[in-house]
Amino acid sequence: MTALTQSQFFQQLKKYYTFYTGGFIAFVIVLAILEQMGLPAKWVGYIFLAATIALYAGIGIMSKTADVSEYYVAGRRVPAIFNGMATGADWMSAASFIGMAGTLYLAGYDGLAFVLGWTGGYVLVALFLAPYLRKFGQFTIPDFLGARYNGNLPRTIGVIAAIICSFTYVVAQIYGVGIITARLTGLEFQIGVFVGLAGILVCSFLGGMRAVTWTQVAQYIILIIAYMIPVVWLSVSHTGNPVPQVAYGQVLQQVTQLEKDFNNADTTKGAAEASARAAFKAQQESFEAKIAALDEAVAAGTGAAFLEAQRAEAGNPADFPATTDDLKASWKKSADGAKAKTGPVSAHATAFAGKGAEANLLKTNPNATEAEIAAARAEDQEASNIKRRNFIALVLCLMVGTASLPHILMRYYTTPSVREARKSVFWSLLFIFLLYFTAPALAVLVKFEVYNNLVGSSFASLPAWVANWAAVDATLMKIVDINMDGIVQLAEITLGGDLIVLATPEIAGLPYVVSGMVAAGGLAAALSTADGLLLTIANALSHDVYYKMIDPKASTVRRLAISKGLLLVVALFAAYTASLKPGDILFLVGAAFSLAASAFFPALVLGVFWKRANYTGAVVGMLAGLGVCMYYMYITYPFFGGVAANQWFSIAPIAAGVFGMPVGFLGIIIGSLVTKAPSAEIQQLVDHVRYPSLEGDIRTQAA
Amino acid sequence: MQLSERHEEYWRKNLRITAILLAIWFVATFVVIYFAPQLNNIVILGFPFAFYMGAQGSLIIYVLIIWFYARRMNKLDTEYGVHEGEE
């Protein structure tokens, strides 16, 4: 293929992927026909899993390479539009594909921080990084830090930061792969993790960046088709409009009206909700009374007897809590669960709602004085301000983190030129945008289905999708008739966020083959991101640590062998970590963004835009930024023993980067100004990256 | 090498374009978020305005910013003779 010109290459790619897309659609249609003819759902799942992983493996084998430049940067001839698709797949993880719509369903406007943060960051990539990194043109992000700040220390800090953020992220992806594989085929989670791992490895192991790139393009096509078809179908069946992104404006108004009805006890629906909430309130109080009794018994020294009595009363179930502490925790959980159901429905489109102190006060005490009302109002205002502050901080961290994650930045090394790199950022965001502006529409459409059709239906004849999911997984769908009226109320439904995307095909009345396709799409999203991340980690170790610092004379064969060996080790270690099911994966992903934003962004941007930035500044700034960010997480996040009382300005630990980043900038500026300016060669390097082409230019591009 | 006056001008123009686009990005993101509760009182096509911006509007602006930047800079490269040779 090397003999082809860039435009012939582009035409050929276009042909291949058009053919491939048609093939995928034909494959789905054939499966649909087979399903109609009686192929069991389980087999549809198996076939999807086997076919897609075989496909990725096939592309991986076809793209195997022993060339360094092909292995690290796909030969630097990936056309802008294809690099855009690959970046899209690289970027959109299981969390985007499956989790995002669920977050939006549950949090409404406040969940949009993720939509904004994960798209707006590309503006920063385009304006500050992609073209300049492409001109610099080496293999990794620490490469740039090492060259620009002229030393192994900045490179080493870069390597460490790249590994910290990529590793936490890749564990979350492999975890997602395990969950989806388990759901698709009924295999055990741990086995699912390792099946998925095989799919990741066979591709990146053989062909490095080259194989990963072409697989990611294929994965993007699958994931976007899988996401769009059920949403469009749902939109047509509910609104008659095939463009859900336009149609859901009207639906949102209906949802808003229903929310008002639910919260107004004078309407029929509102009265039914009020009765369900009252029943939950009673349940909450009964658990609280039990906890009080337990505490009393423990204080009196009769805790063990109390526990035994409770066990006997419950009929000696095998899973009864073993200690009084466990019993208390379990009751506390039940009380909190019931309490969550006692409040009014929150409005989907409302930004930064207060905590309802004023409404609550007026309800419990209609004769409240002016001063009391004013105090309640101030309390609401304060709660709303804190929400807004956190929203802004989170958006900023996610954006800057997007523009700092090495696995994304690395993709812009693979385009043929600076021109193409700029265009490629546009294509990247366009392809990402397609999914991200559909997710809020999906959330609203499903919400309407739940509010309008599920609520008010009878428990004797629940819609099929509700009954199915409630039977499969209680964490995703739980429904209880607490006030015993035989009718479903909103307060009686407990939805897990991941349900939204997974159940959409069934809600829209599509056959199982579409559910299989959605799961395959989620798998594509998780695998593609995991591929990119693993490659980043392995490259940082093999290229930056081994080749650049330990053995600069290593032969090509040796460099690639080391890189592949490390890839295997890192992948196995990540899969092992994921199979332990570490808690709170979402926090880890969020933390990766804050860490990347604090460590990389200031050093990368000032490296291009401020010639005066030097070695000392970079070392001080990166360490200080990373340090502050980690310190803040340490003192505020419960997992590390931190407490919320330590928060600065009530900012949640996930947005720690909002402190780390400015400290990083300050560190570089101060550190640079108190030491002497960088050498003439370094200043020349800065000019070199600023201009796509200069006469008599130096050359930094690696092979 | 020594940069010419033209080169300096190219870089100044680049900085100006970057600054203007960054300002648009800032308004479309943070100013809209800050005033979200007030902006939500305006309803367009059934969408409260701030919600619309968060779910679609700001995203479209981001795509346009990047599209414009790529186009403008690729042209500027040619104007100032710092473009790359044909690949």
For residues A611 and A685, give the distance between their C-alpha atoms in angstroms, rounded to a whole number: 9
DSSP string, A560-618: HHHHHHHHHHHHHHHHHHHHT--S-HHHHHHHHHHHHHHHTHHHHHHHHH-TT--HHHH
Q: Model's pTM, two decimal places?
A: 0.91
Please check whether residue A602 is in contact with residue A625, taking contact to mean a CB–CB distance below 8 angstroms.
yes
Inter-chain touch B51–A429, beta carbons under 8 Å: no
CB contact under 8 A, B33 and A392: yes
pLDDT at B9: 92
Please give the helix or strand (H or E) that residue A495 lies within, else none.
strand A493-495
Q: Greatest CA span in chain B, whole angstroms?
A: 59
A599 touches A166 (CB < 8 A): no
Determine the 3-state secondary structure of A641 from DSSP: coil
pLDDT score recorded for residue B24:
97
Residue A56 half-sphere exposure, CB side, CA atoms within 13 Å? 33
Contacts of B36 in chain A (CB under 8 A): 109, 351-352, 388
Name A477's bridge partners.
A495
Under an 8 A CB cutoff, do B22 and A127 touch? yes
Q: At B81, phi and psi to the nearest 5?
A: 65, 30
The ipTM value here is 0.95
Q: Mark yes or no for CB contact B84/A430 under 8 Å.
A: no
Q: How far apart are CA A265 and CA A684, in angstroms?
A: 72
User: Does B87 score more than 60 pLDDT?
Assistant: no
Q: Which of residues 24-83 of B touch A (CB under 8 A)?
A: 25, 29-30, 33-34, 36-37, 40, 44-48, 50-52, 54-56, 58-60, 62-63, 65-67, 69-70, 73-74, 77, 82-83
How close B13 gets to chain A, by Cα (Å)?
Answer: 12
A347: closest CA of chain B, how far (Å): 12
Task: Provide the pLDDT for residue A586.
Answer: 67
Instruction: State which residues of chain A have pLDDT below 70.
Output: 1-3, 582-586, 696, 703
Cα gap A106→A611, rounded to integer Å: 47
- List all residues 6 or more positions away from A399 whose beta carbon is below 8 Å from its beta carbon: A116, A117, A120, A121, A123, A124, B29
pLDDT of residue A1: 44
Report in angstroms the alpha-carbon separations of A317 from A310, A322, A475, A685, B52. 11, 11, 21, 71, 51
Three-state helix/strand/coil letters over A131-150: HHHHHHCCCCHHHHHHHHCC
User: What's the rounded mean pLDDT across residues B61-65?
Assistant: 97
Spell out the domain ranges in chain B.
5-79
Q: Which residue on chain B is closest to A351 by alpha carbon?
A: B37
- Give the type of residue at A487: I
Q: Are A202 and A59 in contact (CB under 8 A)?
A: no
At residue A605, the pLDDT reads 96
Burial class (CB in 10 A: 0-12, 13-18, 19+), A366: exposed
